[in-house]
Each structure stands twice: as C-alpha cells, then as structure tokens.
C-alpha cells in the first residue's frame, strides 16, 4: 500500500509540473503584450517598458517560467530600488489591474468556492445516493417512478434556470429564504448567516448533480444485486439490509467515487454560473472578471489552480479506490 501511495504521489507531481509548463507556454504565445495590459488604455511607452522590467517580462521565457515556479515555493520579488515590492510564497504572480498579489486574491475567493462546493457535494450525495438506493430496492414502484421524474427534470434544467427559478419564487416573491445582503461570512464567525448565504446556491448545484447520482446509483445497485455473490449471501441467510450495506453498496459506490471526485474538482475550479447568479465572490466569478479585464496573471493562476485541483482530486480518488477495492493496489 505504501509503494502504491508513493507511486501515485510521484505521478501527481510529474503531471502538475507538465501542466504548469503547458499552461505557462500557452499564455506566452497569446497575441498580447502582457506589459501593455498592466496600465489600461492610456499606457505611455515608458510606463510599459518600466512595467515590463518590474514584472520580469524582459527576460527569456525559460527564465520567466523558472521565476514563476520558484516563486510558488520561496516567494518572488518585483522591480528594483524604491519601486521594488514582493509577493510572499506561495506566489502566483502580481495583478497590476487590481494592485495585489494573485495569491491574496485567491485567498479571498477560495473560501467562498470551497464552501459552495463542499455544501453542494454533501447535499447531492445524500439526495442522489439515497434516492438511487430507494429506487433500486423498490423497482417499478411509485418511488422508482418518482425518482425517474426527478432525474428527467434535474438533468433537463440548466443550472442557471434552476438558480433563477429558486431566486424568484423562494426569495423575491415569497421571501421563504431571505437574501443575505451582508455578503460572505465564515461559518466560524456567524453560522446562521453562512447557511442562509449558501442555501440557495447549494440547492441549485445539488439539484442537477443529485439527479445524475440518482440515475447512476439506481443502475449500479440493480446491476450488482444480480451478481452471483450477492445471491449467495442472501441464500446463506444474511439479511437484505446487511447484504446491501456490506456488499452491494461497497461495489456500487466505487465508480461513484471517481464521478464525485471529478465533479467536486470542477466546482473548486469555479462554479461560474452559480457564483454569477447569486453574486458569490468566488473563484469562478474572479476568473470571469479576469478574462474580461485581460488580467493575464489572474487567468494564468486560476487555470493552474484548477488543473492542480483536478490532479489532486484524481490522486485522492485513486487512494479511495485502493481502500474500496484492494485489487487496485496490485500493479
């Protein structure tokens, strides 16, 4: 098991390095002068030249990449003399558009996206897996029919439509769930405001994802319930609930682990539509604003962060697979 974990960690490190090189190279070939984008439309040539030196754009591409990569671990200094400034580790660049280190901007947005993703994940796993199990156990019953209707509606409605409908009917018209005009607050500072702030966004995301998980769970449980070892366990006298919990669900949930890991990684990369609808200051909205403003350091950093999250979640999924299915450890 230790060798398996070390091998997967090594693979993840190599992939992250390759991804960082590829993303950095792509941004170098964009048809923009990054120095000219640092001071708006009224940039003077001398100011562009000064910013090019301050941000290190006058150096060769390989040296710029090395400075960027080393800044993640040791921080990075910009400029010289009285105009010098620094971004402490982990440094992902400096945004002249917002006059801030990119890492500081990410630190402000990441807790919002993380809270959104974790809450939605918990909600859609509970609803999706629970309803999928009920639909499989009571196949062709009214519960199964109801789950099918739920799946059809959940997979048909786009996220932005669900969010707008919830916002209009639960908040604006009926005031069932009031809006929190105070903005984001930490769960540790004010739990009630935190839950009110995220309740509608959680429901919006969970509605779509739980429909998908209901369908997958139902199909997996029905398929595995017909396996020989499940019928043998029942024939030996084990109670159906015990067989379901110890055998059927363990086999059925293994594929869902991969699905949940990738979906969660995608949300951490930024749930752009949901954050825009509910005006959440998360990574998705920050990335969209950076693209509109041609804030290349922020776009580069958020792209790398999203790629790193996907790689890390894949690693976690691989390790969970090794726990759920010991055969994965071989090879």
Per-residue confidence in pLDDT tens, the chain, 331 aa: 677 778 888 888 888 888 888 888 888 777 777 887 777 666 788 888 888 888 888 888 889 899 989 999 999 988 777 778 889 999 998 888 888 999 999 999 999 999 999 999 999 999 999 999 999 888 889 999 999 999 999 989 888 899 899 988 888 888 888 776 667 888 888 888 899 889 999 999 999 899 999 999 999 888 888 888 888 888 888 887 888 877 788 778 777 888 888 888 888 876 788 888 888 899 988 988 888 888 888 988 988 888 888 888 888 887 777 676 655 555 4
Which CATH class name applies to 108-288? mainly alpha
130 CB-side CA count, 13 A = 6
284 CB-side CA count, 13 A = 21
Measured CA to CA in angstroms, residue 23 lies from 53, 61, 228 at distances of 22, 13, 48
Find tokens 């080393």 and name the residue: 70
Could you tell me which of 3, 67, 14, 24 has the C-alpha nearest to residue 297? Answer: 24
Distance in Å from the first CA to the final CA of the chain: 11
The full set of domain ranges for the chain reads: 108-288
Range 81-103 burial, b when 16+ CB lie within 10 A, else e: eeeeeebeeebbbbbbbbeebbb
Q: What is the pTM of this model?
A: 0.85
Gap between the Cα atoms of 227 and 266, Å rounded:
33
């Amino acid at each position: 098991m230790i060798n398996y974990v070390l091998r997967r960690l090594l693979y993840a490190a190599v992939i992250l390095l390759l991804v960082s090189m590829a993303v950095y190279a792509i941004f170098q070939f964009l048809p923009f002068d990054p120095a000219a984008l640092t001071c708006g439309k009224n940039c003077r040539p001398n100011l562009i030249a000064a910013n090019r030196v301050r941000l290190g754009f006058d150096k060769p591409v390989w040296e710029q990449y090395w400075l960027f990569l080393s800044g993640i671990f040791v921080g990075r200094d910009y400029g010289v003399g009285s105009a010098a400034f620094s971004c402490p580790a982990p440094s992902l660049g400096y945004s002249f558009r917002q006059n801030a280190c990119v890492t500081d901007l990410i630190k402000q947005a990441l807790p919002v996206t993380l809270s959104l993703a974790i809450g939605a994940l918990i909600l859609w796993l509970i609803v999706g897996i629970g309803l999928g199990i009920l639909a499989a156990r009571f196949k062709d019953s009214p519960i199964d029919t109801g789950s099918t209707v739920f799946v059809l509606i959940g997979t048909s409605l786009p996220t932005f439509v669900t969010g707008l409908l919830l916002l209009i009917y639960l908040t604006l018209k009926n005031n069932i769930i009031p809006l929190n005009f105070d903005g984001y607050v930490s769960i540790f500072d004010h739990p009630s405001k935190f839950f009110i702030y995220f309740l509608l966004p959680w429901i919006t995301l969970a509605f779509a994802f739980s429909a998908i998980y209901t369908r997958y769970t139902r199909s997996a449980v029905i398929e595995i319930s017909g396996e020989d070892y499940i019928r043998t366990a029942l024939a030996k006298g084990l109670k159906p609930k015990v067989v379901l919990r110890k055998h059927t669900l363990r086999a059925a949930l293994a594929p869902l682990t991969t699905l949940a890991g990738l979906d969660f990684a995608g949300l951490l990369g930024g749930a752009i539509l949901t954050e825009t609808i509910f005006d959440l200051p998360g990574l998705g909205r920050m990335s969209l604003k950076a693209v509109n403003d041609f804030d290349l350091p922020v776009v580069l950093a958020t792209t790398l962060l999203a790629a790193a999250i996907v790689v890390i979640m894949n690693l976690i999924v691989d390790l969970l697979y090794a726990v759920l299915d010991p055969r994965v450890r071989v090879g």
